[in-house]
Amino acid sequence: MARPLPEGFAAAVREVVGPEHIRADVASLEAYGQDALEQGHPPDLVVIPATTREVAAIARLCNERLVPLVVRGAGTGYTGGAVPTRGGVVVSMERLNRIIEIDETNLLAIVEPNVVTADLQRAVEKAGLFYPPDPASLDTSSIGGNVAECAGGPRAFKYGTTKRYVLALEAVLPTGEIVETGSKAVKSVVGYDLTQLLVGSEGTLAIITKITLRLIPKPPARATLLALFGDIQAAVDAVTALIRRRVVPASLELVDADSLSAVRDHLGREVVPPGTGAVLIVEADGMQSAVDDEIDRVADGCREVGAMRVSVAADENDRDRLWNVRRLLSASLMATGLLKINHDVVVPRGRVPDLFRVIQELKKTFGLRIAAFGHAGDGNIHVNLMVDRTNPRELARAKQAERALFERVVALEGSISGEHGIGFAKAPYIGIELSPEEIALMKRVKAAFDPNGILNPGKIFPA
Ligand SMILES: Cc1cc2nc3c(=O)[nH]c(=O)nc-3n(C[C@H](O)[C@H](O)[C@H](O)COP(=O)(O)OP(=O)(O)OC[C@H]3O[C@@H](n4cnc5c(N)ncnc54)[C@H](O)[C@@H]3O)c2cc1C
């Protein structure tokens, strides 16, 4: 239940950041009350601090006056993480957006949280370095949000997700103390690993104000391959065949026919030849000779399991065209006008064929349109239940299908979220995957960081 802000609270916050960095008008409260999930509750106040000290002062005020505090990065999250569930204050990190240092000797970057992911990538690539995590939202999402969600992307197959690149953090505890975790060194085993505990903590344990990221040398060459298949089963078989051949390309993405037809309708032109039931987009990177060898092995593997056509991007424009289809998938599905209930389930790689069998079954059992695509190499598939939002019976069937999907994924030894986190959208389902003992332990960790429960309440744990 939302409570009004305590007397004098807004004035105290205004003192900290100055009146020009506070928003309380209806349009702003609505805008900061939504993320990509398009659900949630508007805050009572939006505060836009510029320094760690200001963030700490706001946290102290919220903690003393028991006001809910929700941290917001770029607001591209899919599970309502950056959105209040019952009012309070949204602390938007948008003014903490500087790349502080690119350290070419120690191969690291130090950034404030709201640097846009693609801006950091471009900046480090100019220095011949590489920051691999590449969520499809990279042109809009922030590094802070990526760290808080442990974002992944196509390149996670070879390079891992965001957590592999986080060396150190500066963070403000909900009680207002400033802590520095980790170090610039690539090894550190002193005490508990608080850095990795904060990675993926969805803004529920601390407010991240500075991030030290590990970089690697930029791979000198890359090549992208598109393989067309007559049906989804052949494409899934190709993924298994490639993994068995010990091919680990930088990315191995699968797109099904429903998703491809959404892109076609969105763009108003064919994106693949008629009769294509699924595609794989595969990218290899590294030294030129290794790239050539890997792409040949991928092409052979795809042909062996019956690919209709295999082609390699001739140049960067061609490559961009292929990846553009992949990047447009979410927008195209949204443009259908249907409600897109987006899940990012993940199964062990060898279970990807089973997961696609589950999806076929759910389509039949619940009479739903389901579009699936994603990081097949990691077993992380975006399963989108496409629902007529004006049809209550279809919405009810989608709810049942959602639970059935999660139960089946956990039975396949997978996880209900590989990338997007839990937020409030998936909180009712965590008991399908986590034991009561694990949930109780997590709640004790949460209480140790946030004894008054003011930071991002209503997230991760069911109410
Ligand atoms: C079109 C589209 C494509 C996407 N593709 C991918 C994808 O490929 N892979 C993927 O992983 N995700 C993807 N996402 C989801 C989303 O972009 C990621 O979860 C991203 O990491 C969120 O970053 P953000 O800056 O928008 O964070 P927000 O949405 O603002 O916040 C997300 C969570 O992080 C917390 N948070 C933000 N900043 C901080 C901070 N400084 N300190 C502490 N907590 C903080 C918030 O409280 C919230 O709980 C996609 C989203 C869209 C809309």
HEC sequence for the chain: CCCCCCCCHHHHHHHHHCHHHEECCHHHHHHCCCCCCCCCCCCCEEECCCCHHHHHHHHHHHHHHCCCEEEECCCCCCCCCCCCCCCCEEEECCCCCCEEEEECCCCEEEECCCCEHHHHHHHHHHCCEECCCCCCCCCCCEHHHHHHHCCCCCCHHHHCCHHHHEEEEEEECCCCCEEEEECCCCCCCCCCCHHHHHCCCCCCCCEEEEEEEECEECCCEEEEEEEEECCHHHHHHHHHHHHHCCCCCCEEEEEEHHHHHHHHHHHCCCCCCCCCCEEEEEEEEECHHHHHHHHHHHHHHHHHCCCCEEEECCCHHHHHHHHHHHHCHHHHHHCCCCEEEEEEEECCHHHHHHHHHHHHHHHHHHCCEEEEEEEHHHCEEEEEEEECCCCHHHHHHHHHHHHHHHHHHHHCCCECCCCCCCCCCCHHHHHHHCCHHHHHHHHHHHHHHCCCCCECCCCCCCC
To the nearest 10 degrees (0 to 180), the angle between helices 232-244 and 288-304 is: 130
- Residue 133 corresponds to which tokens in the numbers above? 């995590």
What does the pLDDT read at residue 324?
86
Report the separation in Å between the CA atom of 145 and the middle of ligand 1, taken as the mean of its atom positions.
Answer: 4
pLDDT score for 348:
95
For 89-142, write each residue's pLDDT tens digit.
999 999 999 999 999 999 999 999 999 999 999 999 999 999 999 999 999 999
Residues with CB under 6 A from ligand 1: 35-36, 70-78, 81-82, 93, 113, 135-137, 141-142, 144-146, 148-149, 151-153, 202-203, 207-208, 330, 419-420, 456
Residues 178 and 200: their CA atoms lie apart, in Å, by 19
Q: Ligand 1: which residue has its CA nearest to atom 28? A: 75
Between CA 95 and CA 333 the distance in angstroms is 32
Dihedral of alpha carbons 435, 437, 439, 442, sign: negative
Q: Identify which of 12, 46, 9 has the alpha carbon closest to the alpha carbon of residue 29.
A: 46
Q: Yes or no: say if 384 and 397 are a contact pair by the CB < 8 Å rule.
A: no
pTM of the model: 0.95
Q: Report the residue among 69, 72, 76 best suited for mutation to probe ligand 1: largest number of ligand atoms under 8 A from its CB.
A: 76
136: its two tokens: 């499809």
- Of 6-10, 375-379, 422-426, 454-458, where does mean pLDDT reach its minimum? 375-379
* pLDDT in the model for residue 2: 61
Residue 248: is its pLDDT beyond 70?
yes
CA angle (34, 36, 42) in 5-degree steps: 5
* CA 135 to centroid of ligand 1, rounded, Å: 9
Q: Which CATH architecture has domain 337-425?
A: 2-Layer Sandwich (3.30)
Domain boundaries, the chain: 9-92, 99-217, 219-328, 337-425
Per CATH, 9-92 and 99-217 having the same topology is answered no
Q: Which two tokens stand for residue 66?
A: 């028991």
Q: How confident is the model at residue 449 (pLDDT cuts 50, 70, 90)?
A: very high
**Fold for the domain defined by 9-92:** 3.30.43
Does residue 3 surpass a pLDDT of 80? Answer: no
pLDDT at 244: 86
pLDDT at 1 over 60: no
Atom of ligand 1 nearest to the CA of 418: 11
In ligand 1, the atom with minimum distance to the C-alpha of 209 is 41
Signed CA dihedral, 330, 335, 336, 339: sign only = positive
What mean pLDDT comes out for the span 340-368? 95
CATH number for the domain running over 219-328: 3.30.70.3450
Range in 28-32, 92-96, 350-354, 417-421 with the lowest mean pLDDT: 350-354
Cβ atoms of 387 and 398 closer than 8 Å? yes
Share of the chain above pLDDT 70, in %: 100
Is the pLDDT confidence value at 291 over 80? yes
Determine which residue's CA is closest to atom 11 belonging to ligand 1: 151
Give me the CATH topology for the region 99-217: 3.30.465
